[in-house]
Amino acid sequence: MDEGDSDSTRFLSHLVAALQSIEDNFGGGAVSALKSPQPLSTESILTILLNEISALPYKFVLVLDDYHVIDTRWIDDACNFLLEHLPPQMHLVIATRENPQLSLGRLRARSHLTELRDTDLRFTPGEAAAFLSQVMELGLTADEMTALETRTEGWIAGLQLAALTMQGRKDIPAFIREFAGDNRYIMDYLVEEVLQRQPDPIRSFLLQTSILDRLHGPLCEAVTTQEEGIARLQFLERGNFFVVPLDDRRQWYRYHHLFAEVLYAHLRSDQPDQVAALHRRASIWYEQHDLADDAIRHALAAEDFARAADLVELAIPALRRSRQETAMLKWLKALPDELVRYRPVLSVWYAGALLAGGKLDVVEDRLRDAEQWLETTSDLGERQQGHPANMVVVDEEEFRRLPGLIAVYRAGLALVQGDVTAATKYARQALDLVPVNDHLPRGAATALLGLILWRNGDLEEARRMFAGGIASVQLAGAISDAINGSIALAEIRIAQGRLREAKYIYERGLQLAAEHGEPDQRGTADIYVGMSELCREYDDLEAATRNLLRSKEHGEHTGFPQFRYRWRVAMARIREAEGDLNDALDLLCEAESLYVDDFFLNVRPAAALKARVRVKQGRLGEALDWAREQGLSAMDDLCYLREFEHITLARVILAQYKSDRADRTMLEAVGLLERLLQAAEEGGRTGSAIEILVVQAIAYHMQGDIPAALLLLKRALTLAEPEGYVRIFADEGLPMEVLIKAAVKEGISPNYVQRLLTAFGKEEGRMIAKPVIHEPLSEPLSERERVVLRLLGTDLSGPDIARQLMVSLNTLRTHTKHIYVKLEVNNRRAAVRRAEELDLLK
């Protein structure tokens, strides 16, 4: 490790690279996650790695060497997370000069820590003698070797440097007598001694290449302007000059970090005026070999900010195609702000990266920085070609695209902020500015107009417009954006009641990823969540669960920002269908905490879904509290954005009618439902219309008016049958089952209602399969808690149990906490013992 590994992306990338040394294809998921425009948390990426590690068939050791150079708390937190969830086949070794800020006391108490301190690492006298005579080939007497071992206290690096220093000396006994000092002093002294005894070309080579974290023959030649770089590296390796090979072919090496540090200190002391030039040469070499990251890093180290800015600007097109806004932000933040302001291309892409990262408050400032130069350029007119003297443009093609890109970003910013009027204005402005053949920004502007129409409830026009925009984006080669677009298109089709077309759109998205050779293309995880929701509606709960599991296997990194939210909502709906309302509510609470705003609509918010579950649980007061908190009433003006919430409100009012049996309450609910149905039908939102008709039928059933209820049910069945809806009826429970049986007698949609009756039969089977078990506890365990308790009685770790149950660790901890409270224990072992006493593990 080196100081650069304090950067989370770099550390995690190097961690994956280390693991790939034992498994070539390891960590592809984590790498994709690191490159995503909406990077996951460190904990999420480590979870992806831990899942892959758990599948490895053999044991291995991961070593973090020179851990002491890291000065950021988050890496300590990451290592604590690794240790807490360490798979059985993995061992972690940390080599450091100081105590790491880890939970060492807890690890010692659990006998999970083996410590090798400085006394353990020192050579014994016999080992020192063997090293000096056999490895370093010094003909020392026994007394001399003992004296040297005593002076160095067995410190291996000190012995090695001392041996290098003694090579060629005549008076070795005198050298050993004068040899003293602590380790760091010895290191400085010995390196200086070693350097002074080397020929000038070797000494110069060692000092000048100390700026490199990796050594390669041609690279060293470019930096030092000396020839025979490969030969010199091989010479240093043979001479035990702390050179470590990084590959089997011995093309890349590195210095021992401590050795490199001292060399670099000598370089800065002896040749301070050369440091920037050396970094600049390294930057040029890396640029010539298309290694932009290293080229930019060395340019920044040289404080050649103009060169670094040029390199960043040239790297932007590739970063944009791969959506690496995180890397772009890292580079741009390292540049002086004033320099960026004179570079309009950098300013605009800075704004785009900030927008993608959700940092909305400074996006407009960056766009204005660029816009002032565009206005200045325009003022020059035809009288003067070129750019103003202070402005810097490296990529002329990117510069010409800026007016259209600025409009696109302003449209996106306005849409996320909810300003539909401004979003529409800028999206249309972008279409006027962007050439017809510039597919990516033109497609983005068109798609934004489609999203605006979707927000307004004009679904068919939204679908047409958005589909056109996504087609343009796909022509530009932005496949992940095209896949993301298929998710929105399917959502629109579902709102229109067109489930079969939604399924086809999802399948085409997966096919698109496969056609481009990337089945883990970003967005595929979201598609499997969508497929799961369709399977649930078809009442195939096993297939729904399989699709969610498949989405997890693809990894959260293949999902867009809303993936974690949508996954938990989908799993909550499955749990609700299975009758596990407590677990459904836990998942919805977790989902709510994970929600982040983006361009897509969230027309079924978790808070409304929670209110529906609470109605089913009989917790009417909490459902009414939700309605008050949201400011909802039956007399509200209706809009598509809040349609789901108003349908939920109607359900809450009907639940209130069950309690108060007040006619005015029923009239309030029926009036709201009638207005909702009219708005949904006028907007072509058949999905909503079916649900509203179902709730209306339930309302009339509650009043005992079965004929009116059946008329409404018949309309719902007519709309739902061609698309295969099931759960929209089955979720209503016993009242709907009564109405479906009445429909059978009336001969309404006979084949379809028979299928629905089968679904109600499954419901009864699920209830029979999960009886309430009475236990000698003050509060009985839920069925879900009993499942968790049985798994706590196995050897599975917490993460393993969470994976098996397909829940997060937080959800598992919630279940475990409830179990401890009910069993009156405070740890896993005690819980299992108490469960055995009560015979709860059957």
* Helix (H), strand (E), coil (C) string for 231-268: HHHHHHHHCCCCEEECCCCCCEEEECHHHHHHHHHHHH
Query: What would the mean pLDDT of 524-546 be, rounded to a whole number?
Result: 94
- Give Cα separations from 777 to 166, 583, 736, 824 (angstroms): 78, 20, 35, 9
Calpha distance 820→831 (Å, rounded): 6
What does the CA dihedral 456, 458, 462, 465 come to, rounded to 10 degrees? -110
Percent above pLDDT 70 for the chain: 89
Q: Which residues are paired to 715 by β-bridges?
A: none
| 70 φψ region: left (φ > 0), alpha (ψ -120 to 50), beta (else) | beta
pLDDT confidence of 770, banded at 50, 70, 90? Answer: very low
CATH tag, 783-837 = 1.10.10.10
Q: Which helix (H) or strand (E) holds 105?
A: helix 104-109
Q: For 153-166, what is each residue's pLDDT tens digit?
A: 566 767 777 777 77
Q: Determine the Cα–Cα distance for residues 698 and 692; give it in Å rounded to an integer.
A: 10
pLDDT at 561 over 80: no
| Cα separation, 33 vs 52, whole angstroms | 14
Instruction: Please tell me the predicted confidence (pLDDT) of residue 240.
Output: 67
pLDDT at 36 over 80: no
pLDDT confidence of residue 387: 65
- At 534 the three-state DSSP class reads helix
d(CA 622, CA 585): 13
Instruction: Give the percent of the chain with pLDDT over 90.
Output: 43
Q: Of 699, 718, 708, 711, nearest to 653 (Cα)?
A: 699
pLDDT, tens digit, 9 for 90 and up, residues 405-464: 999 999 999 998 889 999 999 999 999 999 999 998 999 999 999 999 998 888 999 999
Range 113-139 average pLDDT: 79
Instruction: Tell me what the mean pLDDT of segment 775-788 comes to.
Output: 75
Mean pLDDT (the chain) is 85
Contact present, 135 and 240 (Cβ < 8 Å):
yes
Task: Give kind and range of the element (H or E) at residue 42.
Answer: helix 42-54
Residue type, 338: E
Position 255 scores a pLDDT of: 84
Residue whose tokens read 């932009």: 292
Structure confidence at residue 567 (pLDDT):
93
Place of tokens 């029979």: 768
Distance CA 620, CA 137 (A): 85
Q: How many other CB atoms are there within 10 angstroms of residue 604's CB atom?
A: 18
- Torsional sign, CA 162, 167, 168, 174: positive
487 contacts 471 by C-beta, under 8 angstroms = no
Q: Which two tokens stand for residue 493?
A: 């089709």
CATH topology of domain 486-602: 1.25.40
Contact 726/755 with Cβ under 8 angstroms? yes
Q: What is the DSSP letter of 686?
A: H
The token duo for 355 is 């927008």
- Which DSSP string corresponds to 690-757? HHHHHHHHHHHHHTT-HHHHHHHHHHHHHHHGGGT--HHHHTT-HHHHHHHHHHHHHTSSHHHHHHHH
Q: HSE-up of 659 (CA within 13 Å, CB side)? A: 12
For the record, the structure tokens of 10 come out as 């770099």
Name the strand (E) or helix (H) holding 674: helix 663-682
Cβ proximity of 499 and 723 under 8 Å: yes
What pLDDT was estimated at residue 555?
Answer: 63
pLDDT for 35 beyond 70: no
Q: Is the pLDDT at 731 greater than 70, yes or no? A: yes
pLDDT at position 243? 83
- Which is nearest to 789 in space by CA: 842, 841, 839? 841
pLDDT band at 774 (very low <50, low <70, confident <90, very high): very low
Q: Is the pLDDT of residue 593 over 50?
A: yes
Lookup result for tokens 């499997």 = 528
CA-to-CA distance for 741 and 753, rounded, in angstroms?
Answer: 8
Cβ-based neighbours of 695, under 8 Å, separated by 6 or more = 647, 650, 651, 654, 673
Segment 175-211, tens digit of pLDDT:
777 665 444 556 666 577 777 778 888 889 999 999 9
Segment of 27-31, 133-137, 309-313, 520-524 carrying the highest mean pLDDT: 309-313
Global pTM value: 0.66
Distance CA 430, CA 280 (A): 40
Residues 352 and 65 sit within 8 Å (Cβ to Cβ): no
- Predicted confidence band of residue 652 (pLDDT cuts 50, 70, 90): very high
- The reported pLDDT for the residue numbered 778 is 64
- Report the pLDDT averaged over residues 340-358: 87
Question: Residue 828 above 60 pLDDT?
Answer: yes
Q: Check pLDDT > 70 for residue 842.
A: no
- pLDDT for 12: 83
Q: Which long-range contacts (CB under 8 A, 24 or more apart) does 358-363 make?
A: 358/38, 358/561, 358/596, 358/597, 360/413, 360/416, 360/417, 363/409, 363/413
* Contacts of residue 328, Cβ cutoff 8 Å, sequence gap at least 6: 312, 316, 319, 349, 350, 353
Tens digits of residue pLDDT in 791-821: 888 777 777 787 777 777 777 888 888 888 8
Distance CA 300, CA 775 (A): 67
Q: Domain ranges in the chain?
A: 3-115, 121-196, 200-301, 486-602, 783-837
| Maximum alpha-carbon separation in the chain | 114
Rg (CA), the chain: 34
How far does Cα 210 stand from its chain's mean position? 35
β 90-94/60-64 pair status: parallel
- Res. 263 pLDDT band, cuts 50 70 90: confident
Q: Are domains 486-602 and 783-837 of this chain identical in fold?
A: no
Q: What is the pLDDT of residue 185?
A: 52
Q: Is 204 helix (H, G, I), strand (E, B) or coil?
A: helix
The pLDDT, as a whole number, for residue 651 is 97
| Core vs surface per residue 524-555: b (16+ CB within 10 A) or e | bbbbbbbbbbbbbbbbbbeebbebbebbbebb
* Contact status, residue 732 vs residue 694, Cβ threshold 8 Å: yes
What is d(CA 353, CA 142) in angstroms, rounded to the nearest whole number?
A: 66
DSSP designation for 62: E
pLDDT of residue 450: 95
Q: What are the tens digits of pLDDT across the range 662-719?
A: 999 999 999 999 999 999 999 999 999 999 999 999 999 999 999 999 999 999 999 9
Cα 482 to Cα 252: distance, rounded to the nearest angstrom: 39
**Spatial separation of the C-alpha atoms in residues 430 and 452, rounded to whole Å:** 15
CB within 8 Å of 45: residues ≥ 6 apart = 12, 30, 33, 34, 557
Tell me how far apart the terminal alpha carbons of the chain are, to the nearest angstrom: 50
What is the dihedral sign for C-alpha 411, 412, 415, 416?
negative
Q: Which residue did the predictor score with more confidence, 601 or 40?
A: 601
Which pLDDT belongs to residue 662?
92
- CATH for 200-301, among 1.10.40, 1.10.8, 1.10.10, 1.10.3860? 1.10.10
384 pLDDT band (50/70/90 cuts)? very low
